């Protein structure tokens, strides 16, 4: 329906100004501008673009919202040249504005369009009148000067409140995926493109050609854009042919077809209500309406039924067009987010778009060629679309903004045709998306499987890392794994290939054939980080890192895991004691210095110290706690069957003190062992429990004088060794079998086959015989 602007609600939101700035390192006009400088300059351009009195518009700004820079997009990110502690207000300060509200948006390429959608709704509701949206990146400058002696200092403090929405990374990152090589955007997006290639039944060569043909027109647009970071027109073949300059990044991507983040670019948008635009004297030829808009989130990577597409992104685009009341064929201008080929293909497949569509699929040149200005790319696309629809009154432009790993999608339709603001129905659609069925994931995967999608990551040094997502043949569960040999993925079409997956302490691994059965672990004479001592049927294991308070790093964990594998497999070892070297600590938990070093982190499948996640512990393990049992050290003690502590012992789950949680079983086991309120206090505050108090609550079996924990543990072990090792083992087995049976009588009457086996053992016969003969039994453990 067509409206006259006089018929519309005066609160109708409109875009009235857009601005862009950029600078190349080798440009004569290069100024080493900071992200704040770039965003402020882009905002000045946008304010001037309104055609109204700039000072009056600046004074009227009541809200400023900004996208995040890469340097504050993750908790681990660093700013080598420093950064503002309040980016939106720093930009406002450069302008002489004093908005009542300042917002720093979450991470994601969807954020510029999402901010337009959100604050247009805020304006329509009457809660704001003049809003500035801005963002920038100065990654080229930061990388060029990070180690320079004369490097600029971008550190600054800005007064005023800030609505910092956080990173918004939930569901986008996981330690499990990272441990399997999915630490970077190219490798994740490559999974989607390879799945799409399999769906379309294309060869490697055919798909590479399709990528080249998709992006070659983008390079032509970028070559004509004065703000492009790579204004070079390239042929389809040039884009996808590997060379020294165009090296392979992640199969099927070469460098030329992935987002270029080394840019110095800024872009801003000014939104107003129609009433404010009239009051401030903004000419109507600057007015651009937002008749359609939508925001949806795709299911997380491992929860998607089909990894070859993103139906939620398509749903968002369709809904934005439906709200606007137009079809895709009515668009004159289009910009599809193009960090990698897959997000463009995703929309092109859905709407029947061809690479040579006369409208083009980008108005900027796209992220690999114009530049992937971090989270702010689509602010540039919006600026370009606004300028184009102004030049062609009555036309419609579309911006599709993608974030995460095709996780988030925000869409907007722009036109100069007066259009009433209409609320979208994204919330209801999101509920539908959230209800879509999801595959079950196998974190630990073992058995024959089929490859569902894959990529091979290519390092600068020539290393190759194969990453696989597959399905187990046994139950269809999905898993992620590393290929032990990247050559496994060199076939013309690895997807559908049968492979064998097995879980390890470092994660899942796929091979072409089932690996031979693992040899039974045998106790080594020497380890690097632990000491072992056999004394008859007793094994003593000592964590030997006293200088680190016996804290554990991956290598120590692996050694402990091996030692306990050997203990449980050795029929001649009946009881084990675990202690720590020195007098200060049993174990201070995870080695935080190692963890913070950036070195690879992994842990055995059986958990911390090879014990905390071990499902079967068929023989007794005694913790001899001397001094501190902190964090993971406390969790180890909780996992042991028995605990002997000397009077200096201190037990604590101190993880909250360093921003972590007791994830190796502490938050599970402690509430099951202690009164709930005490367990809550220890977990939530890091409160320490002394040896005597731990004894009073049953957390400890015995307390010895200082320095006597190991001696006390040996005495307890000797008492256990007086009994039948077979009876001890089967007692532990039946206790474990009945642990989950809530009804006492049901648990008592639970029949365990182990009881039948017990009566047929030599030890059972020996025990009864020795009792009748009034002699000490000679146990055989059989």
Cis peptide bond prior to 381, omega within 30° of 0: no
Label residue 325 left, alpha or beta by phi (over 0 means left) and psi (-120 to 50 means alpha). left
In the chain, % helix, strand, coil (3-state, to 5) comes to 35, 20, 40
Kindly give, in sequence order, each residue whose CB lies less than 8 Å from that of residue 151, ignoring residues fewer than 6 positions away. Answer: 80, 81, 145
Looking at 224-340, list the stretches that DSSP marks H as alpha helix, in order from N- to C-terminal side.
236-240, 274-280, 311-324
Kindly give, in sequence order, each residue whose CB lies less than 8 Å from that of residue 775, ignoring residues fewer than 6 positions away. Answer: none
Q: CA distances (Å), 459 to each of 249, 453, 481, in order?
A: 7, 20, 18
| Strand-pair category, 621-625 with 628-630 | unpaired
Label residue 774 left, alpha or beta by phi (over 0 means left) and psi (-120 to 50 means alpha). left
238 C-beta neighbours (distance < 10 Å), count: 16
Looking at 722-780, list the stretches that DSSP marks H as alpha helix, in order from N- to C-terminal side.
725-738, 744-748, 753-759, 762-773
* Catalytic-labelled residue, pool 441, 635, 737, 766: 635
Catalytic residue list contains 635 = yes
Q: 102 in helix, strand or coil? A: strand
Phi first, then psi, for residue 278 (nearest 5°) are -65, -45
The alpha carbons of the chain give a radius of gyration, in whole angstroms, of: 32
Q: 502 in helix, strand or coil? A: strand
CA distance 11 to 443: 51
The pairs formed by 760-769 with CB atoms below 8 angstroms and a separation of 24 or more are 761/726, 763/724, 763/725, 763/726, 763/727, 764/724, 764/726, 764/727, 766/724, 767/724, 767/727
In which order are the strands placed within the sheet that holds 13-22?
163-164, 101-104, 63-66, 130-138, 264-273, 13-22, 288-297, 408-415, 396-403, 333-336
Catalytic residue list contains 655 = yes
Closest CA to 451 of 426, 474, 480, 430: 480
In which order are the strands placed within the sheet that holds 642-646?
530-535, 538-543, 575-580, 621-625, 642-646, 702-704
Burial readout 95-109 (b: 16 or more C-beta within 10 A, e: otherwise): bebebebbbbbbbbb
Q: 461 in helix, strand or coil? A: coil
Q: 567 in helix, strand or coil? A: helix
* Catalytic-labelled residue, pool 655, 715, 719, 757: 655
Closest CA to 69 of 106, 98, 101: 106
| Residues assigned a catalytic role | 635, 655
């Amino acid at each position: 329906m067509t409206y006259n602007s006089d018929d519309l609600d005066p609160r109708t939101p409109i875009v009235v100004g857009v601005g862009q700035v950029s600078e190349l390192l080798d440009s004569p006009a290069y100024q080493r501008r900071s992200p704040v400088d770039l965003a402020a300059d882009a905002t000045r351009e946008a304010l001037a673009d309104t055609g109204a009195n700039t000072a009056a518009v600046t004074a009227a700004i009541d809200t400023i919202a900004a996208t995040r820079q890469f340097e504050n997009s993750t908790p681990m990110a660093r700013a080598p040249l420093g950064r503002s502690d309040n980016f939106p207000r720093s930009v406002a300060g450069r302008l002489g504005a004093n908005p009542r509200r300042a917002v720093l948006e979450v991470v994601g390429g969807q954020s510029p369009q999402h901010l337009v959608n959100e604050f247009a709704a805020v304006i329509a509701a009457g809660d704001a009148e003049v809003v500035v949206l801005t963002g920038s990146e100065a990654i080229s400058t930061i990388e060029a000067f990070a180690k320079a002696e004369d490097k600029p200092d971008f550190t600054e403090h800005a007064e005023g409140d800030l609505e910092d929405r956080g990173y918004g990374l939930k569901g986008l990152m996981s330690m499990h995926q990272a441990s399997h090589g999915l630490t970077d955007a190219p490798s994740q997006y490559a999974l989607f493109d390879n799945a799409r290639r399999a769906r379309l039944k294309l060869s490697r060569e055919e798909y590479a050609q399709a990528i080249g043909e998709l992006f070659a027109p983008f390079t032509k647009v970028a070559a004509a854009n004065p703000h492009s970071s790579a204004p070079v027109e390239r042929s389809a073949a040039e884009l996808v042919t590997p060379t020294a300059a165009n090296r392979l990044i992640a199969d099927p991507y070469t460098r030329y077809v992935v987002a270029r983040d080394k840019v110095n670019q800024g872009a801003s948008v000014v939104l107003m209500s129609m009433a404010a635009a009239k009051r401030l004297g903004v000419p109507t030829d600057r007015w651009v309406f937002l008749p359609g808009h939508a925001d949806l989130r795709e299911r997380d990577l491992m929860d998607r039924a089909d990894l070859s597409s993103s139906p939620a992104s398509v749903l968002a685009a369709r809904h934005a067009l439906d709200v606007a009341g137009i079809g895709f064929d009515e668009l004159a201008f289009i910009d599809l987010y193009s960090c990698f080929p897959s997000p463009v293909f995703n929309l092109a497949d859905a709407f029947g778009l061809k690479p040579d569509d006369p409208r083009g699929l980008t108005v900027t040149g796209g992220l690999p060629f114009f530049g992937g200005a971090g989270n702010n790319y689509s602010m540039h696309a919006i600026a370009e679309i606004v300028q184009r629809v102004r030049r062609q009154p009555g036309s419609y432009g579309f911006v599709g903004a993608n974030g995460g790993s095709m996780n988030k999608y925000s869409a907007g339709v722009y036109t100069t045709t007066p259009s009433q603001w209409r609320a979208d129905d994204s919330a209801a659609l999101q509920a539908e998306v959230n209800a879509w069925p999801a595959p079950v994931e196998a974190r630990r995967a073992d058995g024959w499987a089929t490859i569902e999608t894959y990529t091979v990551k290519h390092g600068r040094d020539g290393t190759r890392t194969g990453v696989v997502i597959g399905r187990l043949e046994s139950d269809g569960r999905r898993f992620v794994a590393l290929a032990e040999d990247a050559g496994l993925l060199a076939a013309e079409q690895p997807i559908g290939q049968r492979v064998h997956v097995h879980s390890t302490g470092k994660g899942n691994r796929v091979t072409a054939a089932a690996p031979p059965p693992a040899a039974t672990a045998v106790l080594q004479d020497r380890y690097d980080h632990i000491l072992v001592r056999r004394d008859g049927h007793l094994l003593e294991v000592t964590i030997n890192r006293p200088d680190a308070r016996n804290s554990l790093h991956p290598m120590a964990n692996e050694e402990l895991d091996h030692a306990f594998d050997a203990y449980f497999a050795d029929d001649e070892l009946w009881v084990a004691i675990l202690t720590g070297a020195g007098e200060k600590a049993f174990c201070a938990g995870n080695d935080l210095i190692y963890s913070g070093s950036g070195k690879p982190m992994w842990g055995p499948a059986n958990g911390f110290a090879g014990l905390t996640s071990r499902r079967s512990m068929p023989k007794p393990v005694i913790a001899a706690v001397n001094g501190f049992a902190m964090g993971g050290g406390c969790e180890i003690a909780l996992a042991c069957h028995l605990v002997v502590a000397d009077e200096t012992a201190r037990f604590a789950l101190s993880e909250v003190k360093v921003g972590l949680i007791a994830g190796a079983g502490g938050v599970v086991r402690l509430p099951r062992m202690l009164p709930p309120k005490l367990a809550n206090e220890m977990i939530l505050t890091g409160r320490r429990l002394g040896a005597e108090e731990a004894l009073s609550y049953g957390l400890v079996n015995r307390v010895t004088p200082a320095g006597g924990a190991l001696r006390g543990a040996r005495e307890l072990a000797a008492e256990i060794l007086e009994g039948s090792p077979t009876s001890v083992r089967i007692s532990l087995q039946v206790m474990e079998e009945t642990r989950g049976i809530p009804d006492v009588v049901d648990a008592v009457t639970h029949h365990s086959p182990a009881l039948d086996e017990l009566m047929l053992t030599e030890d059972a016969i020996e025990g009864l015989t020795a009792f009748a003969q009034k002699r000490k039994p000679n146990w055989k453990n059989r």
